[in-house]
Amino acid sequence: MLALTLLLLSGVTGANIMLHGRSAEHSGSAYRLNELDTLLHEESAVQWKTLAKGNSPMKVARELGKLRKQEADILALPQFAKSSLIDQVEGYHAVLDVELGLLGVGKTAEALAIEQKQTDPRFSALAGDLARREKEERDAAGVSKNIADVTLIAAMSAALVMIGLLLFRFEREHRASRRAADELLHQQRTAFAALAEHEALVRHQALHDPLTGLPNRRALSELLATEGRRALLLVDLDNFKPVNDTLGHAAGDELLVGVADRLRAAVRADDTVARLGGDEFAIFLPDGDEQTAGQIAARIVAECGRTFDLAAGPVTIGASVGVAVADDADGDRLLREADEAMYRIKQGGKGDYVVVSPGSPISA
């Protein structure tokens, strides 16, 4: 019974698509016929209108040529290729050309006579035929659509009855399947939750430094891709290498964690502190201006200059800070300018900061 239901639905679906396709074809033909009728009306009127405005016969001919090109495109469609419309339109054009020729040499009376005796009768017959054909196409479109709708309703009704019988017959099996499906859904939800948690962990690890927990260089790149006014501070620790060399890497790692804590405390709530690697850090200031960036840079220099109490003993280092402020610079340029400013401090004595902003020289 299930196979029969599927077969019925498949057959009806195919028939429904075919019937709706025919309906669309008939509607398209009706639209094209209406368009052709409109073009013929324009063609009938254009020569008198243009001559009344004092235009030349050559301009009339060009306008008629444009209209006839559109008419020819419609008549070239497959549904009209073997119809008598082509002969009717060509006959109408022949009479209209004679009339146009008379108008072109100033024989308005003769042109008017042809208009009354030949052009108008041919046009009326052609317009009537177009109207009849358009009505036939629209009627055919409506019939195809109605048949498709009725067939679909009947098939859906029959399918519902069959499905109802199937549900009644296999009620127990359905309940068992439902329980199994609920269990499977529960397992899937559990698996999805675990997967989401794992993906969140992987993304966090991909965007954060494992030692300090700060965002890493990749996370900073995403922030630099944003637009608007922003500031970037690059922090390079002074005299960090001797700590590693004399007290060991464990002390160096402890020192980096301490620096990360002081950097977090020195910035605003919306600012982002990142570790770029080694003893290099960065601070991204959204909507940061030159004054704010300078104040934060000064705090960082002061905080990093205070003694750090490590397990291996107290150590004192420092920090050189390069600051770049810009309204519309891309991230790479902002990073490059901050890096240049930071290295200028490193070369000039360390333990200070430099601010670079658009249109201003480097200043400390």
pLDDT given at position 243? 94
Q: Identity (one letter) of the amino acid at 241?
A: K
Read off the pLDDT of each residue in 252-272 and give the average, rounded to a whole number: 97
Contact 245, 279 (CB under 8 A): no
Which CA distances in Å does 35 have to 40, 187, 203, 300, 315?
9, 61, 59, 76, 89
* Tokens of residue 8, six digits: 């019925």
**Number of C-beta neighbours around residue 149 at 10 A:** 14
* Tokens of residue 205, six digits: 């690890």
* Tokens of residue 150, six digits: 């009725």
Question: Mind listing the pLDDT tens digit for each residue in 224-254?
Answer: 988 888 999 999 999 999 999 999 999 999 9
Contact 256, 278 (CB under 8 A): no
CA distance 33 to 294: 75
Report all structural domains of the chain as residue ranges with CATH numbers, in order of start.
2-166 (1.20.120), 217-356 (3.30.70.270)
CA distance 325 to 251: 34
CA distance 21 to 140: 12
Question: Mind listing the pLDDT tens digit for each residue in 105-128?
Answer: 667 778 778 777 787 787 787 778
Query: What HEC string does 27-43 produce?
Result: HHHHHHHHHHHHHHHHH
What is the DSSP-derived secondary structure letter of residue 289? -
* Tokens of residue 227, six digits: 């637009």
Which CA distances in Å does 285 have to 40, 195, 268?
69, 33, 8
Question: Mind listing the pLDDT tens digit for each residue in 6-20?
Answer: 786 687 778 778 878
Question: Mind listing the pLDDT tens digit for each residue in 139-158?
Answer: 888 888 888 788 878 777 87
In the predicted model, is pLDDT for residue 335 greater than 80? yes
Count the residues in the chain: 364
Which bin fits 237, alpha (ψ -120 to 50), beta or left (φ > 0)?
beta
Q: Which of 193-207, 256-270, 324-338 has the highest mean pLDDT?
A: 256-270
Read off the pLDDT of each residue in 316-343 and give the average, rounded to a whole number: 91
pLDDT given at position 361? 47
pLDDT given at position 167? 65
Read off the pLDDT of each residue in 58-80 and give the average, rounded to a whole number: 78
CB burial of residue 33 (10 Å; 0-12, 13-18, 19+): buried
Strand-pairing partners, residue 328, are none
Instruction: For residue 78, give every residue at least 6 positions away whose Cβ sits within 8 Å of its Cβ, in sequence order, or none.
Output: none
Contact 326, 337 (CB under 8 A): yes
What is the DSSP-derived secondary structure letter of residue 130? H
pLDDT given at position 321? 97
Chain mean pLDDT for the chain: 84
- Map tokens 């959204």 to a residue: 286
3-state helix, strand, coil in the chain (%, to 5): 70, 10, 15
CA distance 84 to 192: 66
Q: Name the more confident of 318 and 83.
A: 318
Question: Mind listing the pLDDT tens digit for each residue in 87-108?
Answer: 788 787 887 777 777 776 667 7
Residue 40: alpha-carbon gap to chain centroid: 42
Give the CA count within 13 Å in the CB-facing half-sphere of 238.
25
In the predicted model, is pLDDT for residue 259 greater than 70? yes
Contact 214, 269 (CB under 8 A): no
pLDDT given at position 52? 59
Phi then psi for residue 326, to 5 deg, are -155, 155
